[in-house]
């Protein structure tokens, strides 16, 4: 049996989720074409790295990610660090001939994202970005319906990701509140997921954007400890650190060749836990997805007797082989960690069989181009065209 050795860089929330995902993927999908083994985890100090490795059941911990990149036994470098580290770790890993699985957003600038995608293509290594929401097989139904032309011509796309996970002013200041580390506020953090829905579902280009960013929470208490963002972690009540990333954004966009849309994103919408979704309107029908009904998709076809027209609710189930690998019946439903396991499986299968993984670094660059255009639009108070 072939194994693929993985080194995870960053032992916070995503580091832990990725470590769990390889195990789930191995159990759900079996040992072929390769069995993933998380061999080592890195964090900024040995104490943090060892704590993460112990929690995740990983044998080895290192305090310097370069030890992972240099290790000839490692096949895949898995990047779960704050955004500002993605470029350095990925470029070093690619230069060492490693396959790279990187969390979103791919990088903090378009230039960095392009550099990463170019280098990986030149070196011939497999890459993947953690746009996990699109791994939910229910979006395959949506993508197929659009590709078959069931919606007719796309006229409007609405993309939403609102939450209140950062609305508490007493949460400690983290890298997500620091523009030099995060690279962007909500657009790169959660808007990147909206954009991954768009590029996954609609085979169209965004031509131009008009973006308004809002800064709601001016500062947060200084962190009391290093390491990962922990849900609900409170900071030092006597010292506050300025917030340099935005908390909310609204974006209007126009599609090349006709059609338009909007995105709304927030991390501080009090009372809204996780409102993620899309509506895709066409001349002959429409689609609606709402994360609160995570396995369902609503399709409307503008045909037949008018009094019989209405949305049909489709529920994802074991007719999809990836769903079936995890669950034998549709009613139980898959959740966030299951999509992460499907993502890990996608990377393992791609590396083991030598095919490209999806979505790859070039996809990540495409998303980054919109993030960048949104930031420029806000700064210029104007519509900004994307390249191409
Ligand atoms: N796909 C998703 O749904 C999703 C969800 C959350 C976060 N993310 C992305 O995952 C990445 C990590 O986010 P997170 O929520 O896990 O953050 P986190 O703060 O929970 O964890 C980050 C970890 O990286 C460590 N770290 C920082 N610098 C490092 C370095 N130089 N070397 C090694 N380790 C280092 C930190 O100490 C921390 O343990 C980010 O890029 C984020 O945007 C994606």
- pLDDT at position 72 over 80: yes
Q: Judge whether 79 and 10 are in contact, CB under 8 Å.
A: yes
Looking at every residue in the chain, the average pLDDT score rounds to 96
Q: What is the Å distance from ligand 1's center to 297 Cα? A: 31
76-88: pLDDT as tens digits: 999 999 999 999 9
Q: Judge whether 156 and 253 are in contact, CB under 8 Å.
A: no
CA 237 to chain centre: 32
Q: Could you identify the residue written with the tokens 């909500």? A: 186
- 300-309 long-range Cβ contacts below 8 angstroms, 24+ apart: 301/150, 302/152
Q: What is the Å distance from ligand 1's center to 312 Cα? A: 39
pLDDT (0 to 100) of residue 311: 96
Mean pLDDT calculated for residue range 59-71: 98
Angstrom distances, CA of residue 88 to CA of 98, 113, 260, 338, 362: 14, 11, 36, 29, 17
- pLDDT at position 226 over 70: no
- Provide, rounded to the nearest whole percent, the portion of the chain with pLDDT above 90: 93
Q: What is the Å distance from ligand 1's center to 13 Cα? A: 7
Q: Is 327 exposed, middle or buried (0-12, 13-18, 19+ CB in 10 A)?
A: middle
pLDDT (0 to 100) of residue 173: 93
Q: What are phi and psi of 152, to 5 degrees?
A: 75, -140
Q: Structure tokens of 172?
A: 């400690």
Structure confidence at residue 228 as a pLDDT band (50, 70, 90): low
CATH number of 3-132: 3.40.50.720
The whole-angstrom separation of Cα 17 and Cα 230 is 13
Which helix H or strand E contains 238, and what residues bound it? strand 236-242
Q: What is the Å distance from ligand 1's center to 11 Cα? A: 7
Q: Structure tokens of 159?
A: 């993309």
323-348: pLDDT as tens digits: 999 999 988 889 999 999 999 999 99
Q: What are phi and psi of 184, to 5 degrees?
A: -165, 170
The whole-angstrom separation of Cα 291 and Cα 238 is 38
pLDDT (0 to 100) of residue 53: 98
Structure confidence at residue 218 as a pLDDT band (50, 70, 90): very high
Which helix H or strand E contains 206, and what residues bound it? strand 206-214
Q: What is the Å distance from ligand 1's center to 115 Cα? A: 21
Structure confidence at residue 289 as a pLDDT band (50, 70, 90): very high
300-329: pLDDT as tens digits: 999 999 999 999 999 999 999 999 999 999
The whole-angstrom separation of Cα 233 and Cα 247 is 18
Name all residues whose Cβ lies below 6 A of ligand 1.
Answer: 9-14, 42-44, 48, 65, 80-83, 85, 103-104, 130, 132, 189, 227-229
- pLDDT at position 41 over 80: yes
* 220 HSE (CA, 13 A, CB side): 28
The whole-angstrom separation of Cα 66 and Cα 25 is 27
Collapsing DSSP states into helix, strand and coil, what is residue 24?
A: helix
Which of these, 136, 110, 220, 143, lies nearest to 176 by C-alpha position? 220
Q: Structure tokens of 358?
A: 């999806």
Does domain 137-334+367-380 fall under CATH 3.30.360.10? My reply is yes
Range name among 37-51, 233-247, 269-283, 338-352 with the lowest pLDDT average: 233-247
Q: Judge whether 332 and 315 are in contact, CB under 8 Å.
A: no
Q: What is the Å distance from ligand 1's center to 137 Cα? A: 26
- In this structure, how many other beta carbons lie within 10 angstroms of the beta carbon of residue 319? 10
Q: Tell the residue nearest (CA) to atom 19 of ligand 1.
A: 228
6-15: pLDDT as tens digits: 999 999 999 9
Q: What are the extents of the domains in the chain? A: 3-132, 137-334+367-380
CA 173 to chain centre: 22
Collapsing DSSP states into helix, strand and coil, what is residue 244?
A: coil
- pLDDT at position 229 over 80: no
To test the pocket of ligand 1, the residue of 8, 19, 103, 108 to mutate (highest count of ligand atoms within 8 Å of its CB) is 103
Query: What is the model's pTM?
Result: 0.97
Q: Tell the residue nearest (CA) to atom 5 of ligand 1.
A: 14
pLDDT (0 to 100) of residue 76: 99
pLDDT (0 to 100) of residue 232: 63
The whole-angstrom separation of Cα 211 and Cα 380 is 9
- pLDDT at position 111 over 60: yes
Q: Judge whether 247 and 217 are in contact, CB under 8 Å.
A: yes
């Amino acid at each position: 049996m072939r194994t693929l050795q993985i080194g995870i860089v960053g032992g916070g929330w995503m580091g832990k989720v990725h470590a769990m995902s390889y195990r789930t993927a191995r159990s759900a999908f079996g040992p072929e074409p390769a069995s993933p083994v998380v061999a080592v985890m890195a964090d900024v100090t040995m104490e943090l790295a060892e704590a993460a490795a112990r929690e995740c059941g990983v044998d080895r911990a290192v305090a310097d990610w370069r030890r992972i990149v240099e290790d000839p036994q490692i096949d895949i470098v898995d990047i779960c660090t704050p955004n500002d580290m993605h470029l350095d770790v990925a470029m070093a890993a690619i230069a060492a001939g490693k396959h790279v699985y990187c969390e979103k957003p791919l990088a903090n600038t378009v230039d960095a994202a392009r550099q990463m995608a170019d280098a990986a293509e030149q070196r011939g290594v497999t890459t993947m970005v953690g746009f996990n929401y699109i791994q939910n097989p229910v979006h395959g139904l949506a993508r197929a319906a659009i590709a078959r032309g069931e919606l007719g011509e796309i006229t409007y796309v609405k993309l939403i990701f609102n939450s209140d996970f950062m609305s508490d002013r007493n949460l400690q200041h983290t890298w997500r509140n620091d523009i030099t580390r995060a690279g962007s506020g909500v657009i790169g953090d959660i808007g990147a997921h909206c954009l991954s829905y768009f590029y996954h579902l609609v085979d169209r280009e965004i031509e131009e954007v008009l973006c308004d960013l809002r800064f709601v929470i001016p500062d947060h208490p200084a962190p009391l400890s290093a390491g990962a963002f922990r849900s609900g972690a409170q900071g030092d009540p006597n010292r506050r650190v300025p917030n340099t990333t935005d908390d909310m954004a609204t974006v209007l966009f126009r599609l090349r060749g006709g059609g338009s849309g909007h995105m709304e994103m927030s991390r501080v919408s009090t009372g809204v836990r996780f409102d993620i979704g899309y509506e895709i309107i066409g001349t002959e029908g429409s689609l609606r997805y709402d994360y609160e009904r995570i396995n369902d998709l609503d399709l409307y076809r503008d045909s037949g007797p008018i009094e019989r027209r209405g949305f049909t609710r489709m529920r994802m189930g074991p007719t999809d082989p990836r769903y079936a690998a995890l669950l034998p019946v549709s009613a139980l439903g898959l959740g966030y960690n299951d999509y992460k396991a499907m993502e890990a499986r996608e990377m393992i299968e791609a590396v083991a069989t030598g095919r490209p993984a999806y979505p790859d670094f070039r996809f990540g660059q495409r998303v980054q181009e919109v993030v960048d255009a949104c930031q420029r639009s806000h700064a210029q108070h104007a519509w900004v065209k994307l390249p191409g």
